[in-house]
Structure 1
């Protein structure tokens, strides 16, 4: 369940997608590919925050110590348990410091290698969780391009990213 970034890089690194669920950089599938649904979800979250603030004001006016606001934590927990998440690949590529001469990247999967241009990889996203669970089948990650051109057919089962 790990992905290695290797090849023509200054610092080869190993990624563990199972811990990305706690990373603030993660994006939901809807945020990336379904902007209308993402806006609706953001508005719903804002409404929950507004209701929470209103509730807290009413409690303070009654001079009662308010309980810890668990509704937001519960919402975040539900989001994590049911969400489909992607992680931008750019920060990890930046950390590995690929050589400027590296023009192609080989994505090693169980079914062979896929070669793509290194420039395309900078804007790529890795799907690492579906419905709150790590990808076991065809995992540990699937690669999607930022423009959504391979949204219907992502590159699945990536085990290693090799800069050439």
Structure 2
């Protein structure tokens, strides 16, 4: 139970977060590459068009290349999960808690640093790190808080115990 984190406060629903199950969540992101990749605010159609164009260009230059077998893909994904460094966006959890209209602040309660306050609009960009090299964050976890812009990617907020929206 020490790994469970509560998201509560000025919300319609208090939510319990369990980082132990996020490894199976499709929303997880690879923290080693997340902050290096550029964040473009493009819509899905633009992204799809770029993807198809890139594939078409590759076929023209290299000829049709068949993808690896499904078995190979599954093995690769399993290896990635066992050895990866992952995080998950906080935004969906905030959305599910349904903050009240007058909510403006997220308070992060930490064992070492006490309380850290952020504007709620910035809190929706937070990434919660929950795994390093395939291992859960037992000693300084259960999660690390990374700001969406990556400004604290080398010194995340550690030993997070709870979140409260005010």
Query: Going by fraction, where is helix more abundant, 1 or 2?
Result: 1
Which residue of structure 2 lines up, in the alignment, with residue 6 of structure 1? 8
Aligned equivalents of 2:132, 2:66: Cα separation in 1: 29
Aligned equivalents of 2:136, 2:32: Cα separation in 1: 18
Verify: 1:50 aligned to 2:66, yes or no.
yes
Pairs aligned (count): 137
Which residue of structure 2 lines up, in the alignment, with residue 58 of structure 1? none
Which residue of structure 1 lines up, in the alignment, with residue 77 of structure 2? 76
What secondary structure, in the 3-state scheme, does the structure 1 residue paired with 2:96 have?
Answer: helix
1:15-44 per-residue CA deviation (whole Å, 9 max, x = no partner) reads 1011000011101013311239xxxxxxxx
Structure 1 length normalisation: TM-score?
A: 0.78
1:21 pairs with one of 20, 23, 29 = 23
Which residue of structure 1 lines up, in the alignment, with residue 98 of structure 2? 97
| Cα gap change, 1:11 to 1:72, in 2 (>3 Å) | same
Aligned equivalents of 2:131, 2:30: Cα separation in 1: 10
Which residue of structure 2 lines up, in the alignment, with residue 125 of structure 1? 127
Structure with higher Rg: it is 1
Which residue of structure 1 lines up, in the alignment, with residue 163 of structure 2? 161
Moved over 3 A (4+): none
Aligned equivalents of 1:52, 1:82: Cα separation in 2: 21
Deviation of 1:158 after TM superposition, in Å, equals 1.1
Aligned equivalents of 1:51, 1:24: Cα separation in 2: 21
Structure 1 portions without partners, runs of 5+: 37-48, 54-68
Which residue of structure 2 lines up, in the alignment, with residue 142 of structure 1? 144
What secondary structure, in the 3-state scheme, does the structure 1 residue paired with 2:13 have?
Answer: coil
What secondary structure, in the 3-state scheme, does the structure 2 residue paired with 1:50 have?
Answer: coil
Aligned equivalents of 1:17, 1:85: Cα separation in 2: 11
**What RMSD in Å do the two structures reach over aligned CA positions?**
1.7
